[in-house]
Each structure stands twice: as structure tokens, then as C-alpha cells.
Chains A and B, each alone.
Chain A
Amino acid sequence: MRAEALKGHLDGMLLAVLEVGPRHGYAIMEALRAGSSGQFDLPTGTVYPALHRLERAGLVQASWSSDSGRRRRSYQLTPAGRRALDTERSTWRDFSAAVTALLQPTPPAVSPS
């Protein structure tokens, strides 16, 4: 799926991936890929600025940690991030229901005879 198609939804997906617990950048990307059965295959380098944006907005909190000699920056949801995720889910349900209703094939009209 192209990156353009994900515009506007990336924040919600990143928050959802972090709902289960803290993850570092590459683990987040892997979770996005695995969770979408490989459909969301964004350039990994573009996910990091999005994570920084969420951090600036107070939706995630980042911290450096060291694991087997490698320093990693991990992200976890803040309370504001959990509330934003709830909002994203609700908005997406309404949006997808409306799009599904419109895209469903309309049964041919039966002409009275």
C-alpha cells in the first residue's frame, strides 16, 4: 500500500501498536508490518519523524535504554495518547462504516411491470 494512502491514519496506527507496551522504532515498524499482513510497508526512516511528532504532541513518551550493548530509544503511550487512540478508533469506525456503505454494490432496481 502506498504511503499516500496512509496519510492521516499513521498516527492512529502508531498509537495502536504502542498500546500493548513500550517499543523502540524498528520494533514499531515490524509491528505495523506484521499487524497489516505486510500491507503497510512504509520506508522505515519516515516512521521515526512521525514518532517524534507524537512525542512533541505529548501522546507518547520516549526514553533511551541500553540492551545488549545497543542503545535504543523506546516509546510508550501517555494518558493523553491513550485518549487520542480512543478518539482515533471511534473516528475510524464512523468513517469506515460510511465508506463501506457507499462502496457496497447497489442491488439493481426492480422495475414495476
Chain B
Amino acid sequence: MTTIEAYLAEVGARLPGPVRVRAGIVAELRSGLLDATDAYCCAGLPDEQAALAAIGEFGDPGLVADGFRTEIAARQARRVTVSLAAAGPLVGLLWIAAAFASHLGIALAPHGPSPDVSPVLRTGCYLAAVIIAAEAWAALLGIAATGRLSRWLPIRPRRAPTAAAVAGFGAAGADIVMLSLLAAVLAVAPGQLAAVPIALAAAASCARLPLATRAARRCLASRAALT
């Protein structure tokens, strides 16, 4: 392994995040190091000394990796929060459509006319609403902290992955509540539900639940990697 490849391996080993992202960073650093080596060779240094000089110019591998760790965490947080912000309304609309199609919409209103609706069902829906509100707030914070507004917002680097993790766990929590409520209704009054809208909403939640949980865990891991 050449001196430059050994240096790049050291930087790469200290980088968190997806393989593709790390490979892109290492490839960019490699081209820069080779350019720097060429410059030192042109100045008269032999190849090996030129490579060592280029490495010295780039700085300590830990320092370089530290700079990218913050950036990787921010990009990951942005990707997660933007995805959740895009998927959230879609999943929400599917559940609302399913509730209305099953004639649960009016019954769930605070002073709805249907006394036969279980208080558990109503409480569960309110709980989901609270969780969704928290998720939406965290997602918006994450988006603001990682985009153009980040230049004017005094938000610490660890806040963005934290907000993304909260948003991810929030989305997963809302899905768990909705799926639990669905299971409860299915147990007591399966005939009341409109099959197709309910199936679509449940499928959306079932798909989002593991993805949101995994994304939230990854954001927590990238947050932990920040010094």
C-alpha cells in the first residue's frame, strides 16, 4: 500500500455513514493528494518525499475526519428529515381517508355524535396527533438546521441529528399507535372498517415504521460520533 493509500485508509476508517458517502469523500481526498504530490514533484522532490509532503499539507487524519463527521451527520439528518416531511402528510392523509371511509371521522371529533366509539380509540388518535405534531416540529427543525438557513441559525452540530432522530422515532411511534388502534378496532368491530383504504394506510405505516426506526438509530449513531 502506498503512503497516500495508507493515509486515505486511516481517514476512511474514522468516517461514519454509508459506504457510498465515505467512498466519495476518500476519492475526492485522493485526487487532491495526488494533485499536491504532483506539485511537490514539479518543485523537485522525489516521489515518496512528495507524497509525504502532500500528506503533511493535508493534516492529521483525525482532524480531517472530524471535519467530515459533522458534515456527514448533517447530511444524514437532512436526508432523514426531508424524507419524513415528504412521507408524513401522505401517510397521514391515507389514515384520514381510511377513517372517513370507515365512518370514523365524525365519530372521532371531540364532541362527536357517536357515543359508541371507544374512549380508547379516541385517546389513541389524540396521542397519535400529539406524536405527529412533535415529529413535524423536529423534522422542520432538522431541515432548517441543515439547509440554507443553517448559516443564520445558531444551532449546534449535534442538534440536527438529534432532531432527525426525534422525528424518526416520532414517525415510528405514530405508526405503532395507529396500527395498534387498527388492531383494536379489528378485534371488536371488523365489519365497520373500509377494507381497501384501511389496507393502504396500514401498508404505508408498516413500510414506514422500520425505515423510520432505522434512520433514527443511524442519526443517533452519527450524533454519538461527533466530538
Contacts and interface: CB of A to CB of B under 8 A. Distances in A.
Nearest to B57: A44
Residue of A45, A49, A57 contacting most chain B CB atoms (<10 Å): A45
B64 interface: yes
A38 interface: no
Contacts of A73: 27-28, 31
Interface residues of A, number: 26
A49 B36 contact: no
Contact of B147 (A24, A29, A56): A56
B60 interface: yes
Residue of A24, A30, A49, A80 contacting most chain B CB atoms (<10 Å): A49
Interface in B116-166: 146-148, 150-151
Contact of B151 (A30, A45, A84): A84
A82 interface: no
Query: How many interface residues does chain B have, given as a range?
Result: 20 to 34
A57 B147 contact: yes
A45 B150 contact: no
A70 B31 contact: yes
Contacts of B70: 49
Given A43-B63, A71-B27, A71-B31, A58 B147 contact: yes
Given A43-B63, A56-B71, A56-B78, A48 B28 contact: yes
Contact of A48 (B29, B57, B61): B29
Interface in A16-38: 24-27, 29-30
Contact of A46 (B27, B36, B63, B151): B63
Contacts of B151: 11, 57, 84
A53 B151 CA distance: 10
Pairs A-B, 9 closest by C-beta atoms: A43-B59, A49-B67, A45-B64, A45-B58, A26-B35, A26-B32, A45-B59, A25-B32, A52-B71
